[in-house]
A = this chain, B = another copy of it.
Amino acid sequence: MAGEEIRNTQVIFRDYVSGFPKESDMYISTSATIKLKLPEGSTGSLVLKNLYLACDPYLRIRMQRIENPIVFTSFTPGSALNGYGVGKVVESGHPDFKQGDLVWGTTGFEEYSLITETAQLFKIHHTDVPLSYYTGILGMPGMTAYAGFYEVCSPKKGEYVFVSAAFSAVGQLVGQFAKLMGCYVVGSAGSKEKVSHNHPQYACIIFKCFQLQEEQDWDAALRRYFPEGIDIYFDNVGGKMLDAVLLNMRFHGRVSVCGMISQYNRDPPEGITNMINVIFKRIRVEGFATFDYYHLYPNFLEFVLPLVREGKIAYVEDIAQGLESAPAALVGVYSGRNVGKQVVAVAPES
């Protein structure tokens, strides 16, 4: 079988998007084929069978036409999307990977992917935890939460921490990391359904959380939850929430800017009008990129795996079945339909 071409179902990016993405901005194609055997001399390449794909918020940025790419490049209309995923090596021309290895990293939104660039591919050594976790808590979002909280925020026990998008892949981890550290933690989430996950059955997700639509005035809500002000804001949403937070920061507060999901579909973005508080309260607002911290990945795994195994940290996933569900699952992330990390299961693990 390995020598012949087989069908390779793909999620194709139709054309550049403005505003909110729709399911019809993607389509499922069954017309592509792939050879599972690498051509002679394909040193450094791999063929991957994709098992799980991550519906990461940043993918929206890649759906627009990016004239001067600085961090992200646009998807190519007519080609499959790509992003983070978990896969199994079907064939390897790379000395570090062998057939049957499990990996996570950048792959295609398709059944099988030919990977020619392995720099951002990590081998999975621990399989006593759900494999899908490597699209989340044990993968890029986990590293994002770890680097963005511990490295960027310099947190101290007892500090007042606010996390927006508190049940997102990253947000739920930041909240729990902060809680484990002995911080006072409050989160915000977009729906009641999300906040309902804030329940003892979810072990450690027991920080306070308020629901955005239930609050007329976010500044007032923050004042109620943080009468003493906020030391650390882990920003996943940007826009008006960031503006309200700036009013409620404490002296020498830190804002770790991880994402701005509320702004990705807006042109122009909402204006931030409370920047003067950055001076008054000597606030540090800092953006970061997870890939600047990947050298810490082994430290991170050593830290987080025991917490996962001992049930000291909970992790909520929203798993959609089959590549066909990918367009709806991805679009749902921007309307906040998912509860927990949105994953697409592409194929059975074995």
Contacts and interface: CB of A to CB of B under 8 A. Distances in A.
B278 A257 contact: yes
A242 interface: yes
A11 B3 CA distance: 91
Contacts of A287: 277-284
Q: How many of these chains are in the complex?
A: 2
Interface in A268-287: 268-287
Contact of A270 (B271, B283, B285, B286): B271
A234 B271 CA distance: 21
A287 to B, nearest CB: 4
A289 B276 CA distance: 12
A142 to B, nearest CB: 18
B280 A70 contact: yes
A238 interface: yes
B286 A284 contact: yes
Interface string A245-287: 0000001000001111001000011111111111111111111
Contact of A269 (B71, B257, B275): B275
A280 B283 CA distance: 20
A294 to B, nearest CB: 14
Contacts of A280: 70-72, 287
A interface majority secondary structure:
loop
A40 interface: no
A252 B269 CA distance: 22
A207 interface: no
Contacts of A285: 278, 284-286
A292 interface: yes
A270 B269 contact: no
A71 B281 CA distance: 8
A283 B286 CA distance: 6
Contact of A284 (B259, B270, B279, B284): B284
A259 B279 contact: yes
A268 B273 contact: yes
A288 interface: yes
A271 B275 CA distance: 9
Nearest to A252: B292
Given A70-B281, A282-B286, 19 more contacts: A70-B251, A70-B280, A238-B275, A238-B276, A258-B279, A260-B276, A269-B273, A269-B274, A271-B271, A277-B287, A278-B285, A278-B286, A279-B288, A280-B287, A282-B292, A284-B285, A284-B286, A284-B287, A285-B286
Interface of A: 70-72, 238, 242, 251, 257-260, 263, 268-289, 292
23 contacts: A70-B251, A71-B280, A71-B281, A238-B275, A238-B276, A242-B275, A260-B275, A260-B279, A271-B271, A271-B273, A272-B275, A278-B286, A279-B287, A279-B289, A280-B287, A282-B286, A282-B287, A282-B288, A282-B289, A282-B292, A284-B285, A284-B286, A285-B286
Top 8 A-B pairs, shortest CB-CB distance: A271-B271, A278-B287, A279-B287, A285-B285, A272-B272, A284-B286, A71-B280, A269-B273
